[in-house]
Structure 1
Amino acid sequence: MPAKKKTAKKAARKSNAKRVRKSSQRSLAFRVAFAPFLAIGKVTAKWPTIVRWPARIALGSLWIGFFIFCAVVIFYGARAHSSKYDPDKITQMPARSIVYAQDGVTEIGKLHGDNRLMVSIDEVSPWFKKALIAREDARFYDHGAIDIRSLGRAVFRNVTQKKMEGASTLTMQLVDNSYAYNGKSIDGKLLEMAIAFRIEANYKKDQILEHYMNRIFWGHSIRGIEAAARTYFEKPASELTLSESALLAGIIRGPNTFSPFVDLQKAIDQRDTTLKRMVHYKFITEAEAEDAKNEKVKIRPVSRRITHDSYAMDAIRRDLDIILEEQEIEMGGLHIKTTINPELQKAAELAIEARLKEAEKDPSYHHQTRAQYLSRYAKTQQAPKYIQGALVCLDNRTGAVLALVGGRNADESKYNRALHGKRQIGSVFKPFVYMTAFDKGLHPGAWVRDSRIQPGEIQGAPRSWSPNNSDGTYKTLMMVQEALARSRNTSSVRIGDYCGIDQVIETARSVGFTGKIPPSPATYLGTFEASPWEVAKAYTVFPNQGKVVRPFIISEIKDSEGNVVYPGSGTISWSAAKQGAATSVSNTLQEVTSRGTASRLRSALDYKEVCGGKTGTTDNYRDAWFAGYTSSLTCAVWVGMDDNTKTINRGYGSTLALPIWAKVMKKAKDLGYPAESLKPNIPMQSVRLCRFTSQLATQGCEAHHSAYNAAIPVDLIPKHTCDNHPVRAQIIQESAVPAPPSRAVPVQEGQRPSRAIPVR
């Protein structure tokens, strides 16, 4: 046989075999697919015709339904096991972080997360558990993920009575509240059931109930039973009565509609319906239900339904945004311990309001008053234009912020002046100029000229620049400490010129002033801007004898399980000046409060404790400052208008800011913050110095009547004798030697504002 024919026959055989295999496979698949129908046909083959075909149709339909059911179970079971529907997600509920005062017990606010407070099932009243189950899922403990009986009844009524009736179990409702999907569609309902089965497989019934109670929405942004109990009834969930429990369970289906804050009678009607169901399911007796109905509903009064903001909370939020990760902020549930003393905070707020309300009555006050704002403009959400104040109070030892006020009312103005209010600080800055000079070798008992500044005298100043003294008077020579105590401008400029502008700016940076500081002689008089926060921080250098402490407001953060997630940064301090230099300034600032520009503190304000401080008033009475300290606390106060206009006539720091400081410090003493001696712990040594050079006095100094005895810190003792009056100096005529200035009498701040420069 030819090779061609053999090949063709072989190929034909292979093709026939392939067709046979395919036909066999199709036949097998057909027999498998239709085996149930073939079996039904075989079983019913000998049945009477009148029975056979209805039976075949019914049994075939059952098989098709079973097949579809299995396919649906597999399909939705697979979807439900996606990581998108992780069962652990029902435990992940954003909750409010609670902010506590320094005692860790007093609550001062809530922030972040949802308005929810997490509780365990054991921390919820048994009455509420029964009321919830009776109202939402009476057979909760008897069925699985779905309630077949309720589902069948709902389907029947929906079909026969065209009445929409739900059949969701508590587990299904928990799914609906925990995951994102379209729960209104058939696809969504089937997926909900599948996820519910997965939840039931992973959690016990009590755990499911606990997570559900913590997730429920109760209207007005309230989530969870604990937040609902505290918001509506001002009590924890563990103390809810039967009547209150039934009311809360009753309003779940329409929380905004049935809210007792919206319509109390509707809420009571829902309570009575819930009580009826509880009696029906034998959770309570008829007598208990009647007693509950007769109980008067006591909800939170209207006056306590508004949560007021505060400037302290604003500062806390600012720090939390730096400390926490985004996930921690979103989930909340943290316990945040702060440094705020709530009683001192309240005293500071009241002191500012009282003094500024009084200032608004001054005949020279030509601005909006707070009363006018509240009556005419508050509802328009316009920014207030009345006089404002700010305060920051720190613990000298640690830097803890004990009180922070950024304005008169945080609900009316969100602008936090304590943190962000950059205002010209004026004479409040002068102590740092003098501290720089003491660091360089000047001494408080030295003489400085107080006459008018002459053209070309001050390095870097325009020839025409000649700042005035606030009282319009000028002296020949004055002791350095007296110049600071009386806040003399011309003397202070000369002190600054002795140091040099670069050195003064370096000191300002070292004590914590971070803003722009012009390299101009006017800086010696505080013509740059800073916030009360910066001023308070800088002034800690004086009671701490050369060290500055960094302010902080958050001392510890714990998560919902009590684990410390932020232990606090603790005290951070740094050396900003020689101990002796800071001590010398501090000694003079104590004189300021007894016979200087803040002497009203002792007389009119009746504050007798040991303290130091400095007033500050900028041109045209735009800013009034007082920064002061005791052995325990440092406090900076600012008063002014947001638009930087004049406050009142003679609106000095001593008249506007000082009274606020005095009230706060009196309260601080009552709260246990002592105002003890500010005696330095550095050794002091008595030496004889020259008032002209601050160097060791020589016979020449004695001859010129410039020698004097001074007790000074050991780190400031000069190493050289006076080079202006060497030992062989010739005695000059006594009439040519200026007499030492007499001790100044107590003075008030200046009698008229400066016109030549913007600060006094």
Structure 2
Amino acid sequence: MPLLFLYEGMPKRKNHVSKSALTLKKIFGAIASFLIALGTPLLVVLKLLFSLTIEAGAISLNILAAYFNLILHFLLTINTLLLKATASGRSLLAHFIPRLPKKPLLRRQAKRHPLLAAPPPQKKPLTLPNLARITPRLSLPHPSISLASLASRVSFPAPRPQFLLTISLCFFLLTTFASLQAYLFLTSLPNPHLLTQNTSPVTTKIYDRHGTLLYQFYKDQNRTPIALTNLPPYVSQSVIAIEDKNFYHHPGFDSEAIARAALANSSGTAVQGGSTITQQLIKLKLLTPEKTVIRKIKEVILAFWAERLYTKNQILEMYLNEVPFGGQTYGIEAAAETYFKKPARNLTLAEAALLAALPKAPTTLSPFGSLDKAKERQSSVLNAMVSQNYLTAPEAAQAKSEPLKIAPLETEIKAPHFVMFVKGYLQKKYGPDVLDHGLQVITTLDYPLYESATALLKKGVTAQKYLHVGNGAALITNPKTGEILTMTGSIDYFDSPSDGQVNLTTAERSPGSSIKPLNYALAFERGLLNPSSPIDDIPTAFRVPGQPVYLPQNYDGRFHGRIPARVALGSSYNIPAVKTLEKNGVINFLQFATNLGITSFSDPDRYGLSLTLGGGEVKMTDLATAYSSFANQGEKVDLNPIIQIKNYKGNILESNTSNQFTRRSDSEGGPLATGNSRVLSPRTAFLVSDILADDRARTPAFGPRSNLNIPGHTVSVKTGTTETKRDNWTIGYSFGPDPRLAAVWVGNNDNTPMSPYLESGNTGAAAIWNPIMALLLKDQPNSPIPKPSNLTEVKICALTNTLPCENCPNITTEYFTPGTEPKVACHLIKDDLEKFRSARINRP
């Protein structure tokens, strides 16, 4: 109000205003513009810093939208403030944007606020004497002065472009551009939250059932994460002492170390690097390795950010699991295993100090290349630990004197065919990249047994070179649980010229007669045959529409007349087997074999009656699965190579124990436990197993003392040989609480035939199967075949499959389901004996 009185007393000159008032308005306007120009981008930068340091999250694009909104408000605010400050009616933008009108804006006198016409400030304070001198000059009496009329009579000239305002606007544009660039730079940085996401490949390890490491799978980096709490204290202390002594005190970067490193680089002097452990972690996990100023700036910013997100120990643990230690070795756990063949938790002080020395120059300091240089660096690490009070001088001296036992560099793979089989299993179940996820796989393989069985296989193949046996394969399982105990796909995995890497336990080969038990099992299951059913082994022509006449021959080139099914299967005669398949039907047999586990019978149109003699190729693993149904009273158990799978964090992904294969005591079966499926009745499974264990039933073909006998043990076994002698098999199994199944194949990878003098059941696969099975059953008590309660033994005449009569020369016992046994006796006369002279089997 005093200022208004002062204005009222001024002379009434047109467009007159005090110069001091105008100058003051200009200064205030420039300052306001400058502050807003500076404050707007600063607000954005502060917002970004707030996001980095407090929220520590991703920078939202909403900030950018808010930023441009602030720019608009700034321009409007400048225009409004200076419009009011000058009361000229002209927009500030009119000085810079030519299209805006330069004349004062129209204003209504009635709505004009009197303060807008405030007079310039007085140089002297307004006192009553001064007011008395001014009052007589006023046109209105003092008590009734009108502010509105005063404002209407005072006008000011329009201001011209001001130098300070121009500078402030330029400064605003510059800071806007700089802020935008800062925003784009910060938003381009990777998020430190990614540090806890395991983006680095982690080694997958395959173990046998006893914990023996079979192999490690990794592409470029062999890494096994380990928790910091599982390491001895001196492991982390040695790393901190040599890499970042101020680790627990800096905010992620060490400005003194950076300056020292920069000075050393400019002078050419080699000193300790300027990167902290946090910076090294950022460089390893989030940034590229090029050496540029921009990357260094990013490294510092991200290190500072990471320290806001994680504790020091979390950062140290991530670093120890990420840092390279030479070659393909990454992380302290993999380094301990590579150089000392022990887990990192068992490292000694001397060993830990040596490993801490390696990250500076892993190749130059590698103990494999230069142990002396590594020892020198180890000494520096121990000295640093003493200077930083982690160790005493005597402790360091003792560690320096400790001899280091560097393990030889090994790339050995144990049980290679099995390991690759497990690899395929994992990739099929968990995806193609699963081997980079750090799985700890405990398998069912018994490595000591594998070594013994493989040695017997190699010995047997070598001993039969004279029979042109060039290769062999062996598979041992527990038919009760499906566990694969050994798998040898060839005698030499590394024999590339002979395709040694081909796993013949999973390759498709002709099974020969080893497929016959499945054929007879189907006939027993359908009630078409029983073990005593007579079958004529005589020359027979089989006619199938659209196919040539089929005239099968027996292995020995002879015909054996009417024989019981027991002898036909036990001695592996071909003509009775073809007749049995004709009864079953090829389509029915294909479906039945598939149910038992044969996966290769895919196209029914490809197969005919020769299928029962090996006319369709199968895998050894499939045949082992099918035979396990006979050993398990009709329950099929799929082969299983896995006991347990854990991820690198220790979480169990898969666990297979024997408990899941618990069986019912009910001989007739019923609902099955998880992991099983019933494919046969216990009756059929028993009958097939009993025939395959009957030495008298196979004596006509193999002799009384063949390699199919394991003295003191009940073993069911079957051979198989192709007509051209390209494949020879023996597969057999035992019984009891801990049974074993062993399958052996011999032949040649190039499919060339073996010698025609190879004698199935005595040479070839049987000569290898016998010592393997004897090894498996050594020191084990004999276990008989478990007999179902719904079978009864009846004495019959083997020649007629009837109750015995006076002239029957071969009276034996056979198993029948109650109600199906013979009801009448035979009526043989002496002339009939000549007719059935070939039936000489007497099974008491």
Which TM bucket (shorter chain)? 0.7 to 0.9
2:593 matched residue in structure 1 = 508
Give the match's secondary structure for 2:405.
coil
Q: Structure 2: which 5+ residue stretches go unaligned?
A: 1-89, 106-156, 662-674
| Equivalent-residue separation in structure 2 for 1:107 and 1:100 (angstroms) | 4
Identify the match of residue 422 of structure 1 among 499, 508, 517. 508
2:725 matched residue in structure 1 = 621
**2:428 equivalent to 1:353:** no
Quick one: structure 1 residues 461 and 389, their matched pair in 2 at CA, closer, same or farther if it must change by over 3 Å? Answer: farther
User: How far is the alpha carbon of 1:480 from its aligned partner?
Assistant: 2.1
User: How far is the alpha carbon of 1:263 from its aligned partner?
Assistant: 2.6
User: How far is the alpha carbon of 1:720 from its aligned partner?
Assistant: 9.6
1:544 matched residue in structure 2 = 632
Identify the match of residue 530 of structure 2 among 443, 452, 459. 443
1:749 matched residue in structure 2 = none
User: How far is the alpha carbon of 1:537 from its aligned partner?
Assistant: 0.9
Is this contact kept in 1: 2:600–2:619, CA < 8 A? Answer: no
Q: Percent identity?
A: 25
Residue identity opposite 2:275 in structure 1: S
How is 1:640-659 mapped onto 2 (pairs within 5 angstroms)?
640-648=747-755, 650-654=757-761, 655-659=763-767
| Equivalent-residue separation in structure 2 for 1:437 and 1:682 (angstroms) | 21
1:190 matched residue in structure 2 = 297
Give deviations 1:490-517, integer Å, cap 9, x for gaps. Answer: 3322333343333333332222222246
| Equivalent-residue separation in structure 2 for 1:675 and 1:229 (angstroms) | 47
| Equivalent-residue separation in structure 1 for 2:226 and 2:503 (angstroms) | 38
| Equivalent-residue separation in structure 2 for 1:223 and 1:671 (angstroms) | 46
Quick one: structure 1 residues 188 and 459, their matched pair in 2 at CA, closer, same or farther if it must change by over 3 Å? Answer: same
Give deviations 1:163-204, integer Å, cap 9, x for gaps. Answer: 697311111000011114354111111111111011111112
| Equivalent-residue separation in structure 1 for 2:769 and 2:752 (angstroms) | 23
1:6 matched residue in structure 2 = none
Residue identity opposite 2:554 in structure 1: N
| Equivalent-residue separation in structure 1 for 2:767 and 2:269 (angstroms) | 75
| Equivalent-residue separation in structure 2 for 1:90 and 1:429 (angstroms) | 52
Is this contact kept in 1: 2:798–2:812, CA < 8 A? Answer: no
Is this contact kept in 2: 1:637–1:657, CA < 8 A? Answer: yes
How is 1:29-428 mapped onto 2 (pairs within 5 angstroms)?
30-31=167-168, 76-80=185-189, 82-83=190-191, 85-89=192-196, 92-102=199-209, 105-111=211-217, 114-161=221-268, 166-181=273-288, 183-302=290-409, 304=410, 306-308=412-414, 310-325=416-431, 328-332=434-438, 334-360=439-465, 362=466, 364-365=467-468, 387-412=470-495, 415-428=501-514
User: How far is the alpha carbon of 1:591 from its aligned partner?
Assistant: 1.5
| Equivalent-residue separation in structure 2 for 1:69 and 1:337 (angstroms) | 58
| Equivalent-residue separation in structure 2 for 1:274 and 1:124 (angstroms) | 18
Quick one: structure 1 residues 408 and 645, their matched pair in 2 at CA, closer, same or farther if it must change by over 3 Å? Answer: same
Q: Structure 1: which 5+ residue stretches go unaligned?
A: 1-8, 36-63, 368-386, 747-760
Give deviations 1:75-124, integer Å, cap 9, x for gaps. Answer: 654444x54x4354466543223334346x44443335742122122322
1:718 matched residue in structure 2 = 820
Identify the match of residue 452 of structure 1 among 527, 536, 539. 539
1:667 matched residue in structure 2 = 775
Is this contact kept in 2: 1:112–1:330, CA < 8 A? Answer: yes
How is 1:626-645 mapped onto 2 (pairs within 5 angstroms)?
626-631=730-735, 632-645=739-752
Identify the match of residue 577 of structure 1 among 673, 680, 684. 680
2:147 matched residue in structure 1 = none
Residue identity opposite 2:600 in structure 1: G
Is this contact kept in 2: 1:344–1:664, CA < 8 A? Answer: no
Give the match's secondary structure for 2:591.
helix
Q: Which moved more, 1:564-573 or 1:216-225?
A: 564-573
Give the match's secondary structure for 1:474.
coil
Is this contact kept in 1: 2:799–2:836, CA < 8 A? Answer: no
| Equivalent-residue separation in structure 1 for 2:488 and 2:311 (angstroms) | 49
Larger Rg: 2
Identify the match of residue 16 of structure 1 among 85, 98, 103. 103
Residue identity opposite 1:408 in structure 2: I
Quick one: structure 1 residues 261 and 414, their matched pair in 2 at CA, closer, same or farther if it must change by over 3 Å? Answer: farther
Give deviations 1:605-655, integer Å, cap 9, x for gaps. Answer: 754311111011223432110011101122221111101112345334432
Give deviations 1:38-82, integer Å, cap 9, x for gaps. Answer: xxxxxxxxxxxxxxxxxxxxxxxxxx9x999999876654444x5
| Equivalent-residue separation in structure 1 for 2:177 and 2:393 (angstroms) | 48
Quick one: structure 1 residues 661 and 436, their matched pair in 2 at CA, closer, same or farther if it must change by over 3 Å? Answer: same
Residue identity opposite 2:535 in structure 1: V
Residue identity opposite 1:191 in structure 2: K
| Equivalent-residue separation in structure 2 for 1:702 and 1:208 (angstroms) | 91
Residue identity opposite 1:421 in structure 2: A
Higher relative contact order (CA 8 A, sep 6+): 1
Give the match's secondary structure for 1:16.
coil
User: How far is the alpha carbon of 1:659 from its aligned partner?
Assistant: 3.5
Quick one: structure 1 residues 740 and 319, their matched pair in 2 at CA, closer, same or farther if it must change by over 3 Å? Answer: same
**2:578 equivalent to 1:493:** yes
User: How far is the alpha carbon of 1:709 from its aligned partner?
Assistant: 7.0
Instruction: State TM-score, norm by structure 2.
Output: 0.70
Quick one: structure 1 residues 74 and 183, their matched pair in 2 at CA, closer, same or farther if it must change by over 3 Å? Answer: farther
Is this contact kept in 1: 2:810–2:842, CA < 8 A? Answer: no
User: How far is the alpha carbon of 1:589 from its aligned partner?
Assistant: 0.3
Is this contact kept in 2: 1:170–1:212, CA < 8 A? Answer: yes
Aligned residues: 668
Quick one: structure 1 residues 598 and 24, their matched pair in 2 at CA, closer, same or farther if it must change by over 3 Å? Answer: farther
How is 1:524-539 mapped onto 2 (pairs within 5 angstroms)?
524-539=612-627
Give the match's secondary structure for 1:441.
coil
Give the match's secondary structure for 2:693.
helix
Give the match's secondary structure for 1:355.
helix
User: How far is the alpha carbon of 1:221 from its aligned partner?
Assistant: 0.9
Instruction: State TM-score, norm by structure 1.
Output: 0.77
Give the match's secondary structure for 1:495.
helix
Is this contact kept in 1: 2:261–2:274, CA < 8 A? Answer: yes
Residue identity opposite 1:492 in structure 2: A
